[in-house]
């Protein structure tokens, strides 16, 4: 990291940023082209979970190349100034590198969906078997994460 004073190295601080986030960006490589998609997510025990339809580009890409990057950001605010080059941003962000896989086991899939819902609500939800069968769930095992903040 070029600006060491902006680095977040404490894992508990990075976990807190992920817990505060409401959306993230999932980055993948499709052949030799990057592909990034905003996603809802769940986070638990150094693992990120996503869900979606059974078919689609992100699932096709992950099957070919499971290496992914996920970006989270919170506390975003524009800092205005008189001169254009003095404008800045306030933010906290975390970037995660990991390996994605698809979850097939119905019980594991249900736990992953519970984790996703817990990111947004304290309620307990049921997942009907028909919906569970129609839903694909991606699990990302985190290999490494980095954090950065500015003007906080």
Q: Say if pTM beats, i.e. exceeds, 0.75.
A: yes
- 52-76 burial: b if 16+ Cβ within 10 Å, else e: eeeeeebbebbeeebebbbebbbee
For residue 6, the model assigns a pLDDT of 66
Q: Which residue has the tokens 């078919």?
A: 55
Q: Sign of torsion, CA 120 102 35 53? A: negative
Q: Which residue has the tokens 């404490």?
A: 10
* Mean pLDDT (the chain, rounded): 92
pLDDT at 1 over 60: no
Q: Which residue has the tokens 């919906």?
A: 131
For residue 3, the model assigns a pLDDT of 59
pLDDT at 7 over 80: no
């Amino acid at each position: 990291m070029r600006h060491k004073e902006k680095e977040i190295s404490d894992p508990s601080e990075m976990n807190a940023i992920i817990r505060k986030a409401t959306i993230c960006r999932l980055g993948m490589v499709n052949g030799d082209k990057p592909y990034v998609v905003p996603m809802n997510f769940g986070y638990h025990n150094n693992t990120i979970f996503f869900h979606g339809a059974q078919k689609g580009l992100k699932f096709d890409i992950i099957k070919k190349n499971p290496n992914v990057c996920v970006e989270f950001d919170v506390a975003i605010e524009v800092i205005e100034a008189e001169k254009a080059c003095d404008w800045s941003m306030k933010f906290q962000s975390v970037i995660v590198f990991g390996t994605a896989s698809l979850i097939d086991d119905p019980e594991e899939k249900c736990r992953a969906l519970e984790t996703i819902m817990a990111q947004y609500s304290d309620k307990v939800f049921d997942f009907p078997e028909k919906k569970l069968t129609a839903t694909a769930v991606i699990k990302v095992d985190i290999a490494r994460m980095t954090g950065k903040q500015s003007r906080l």
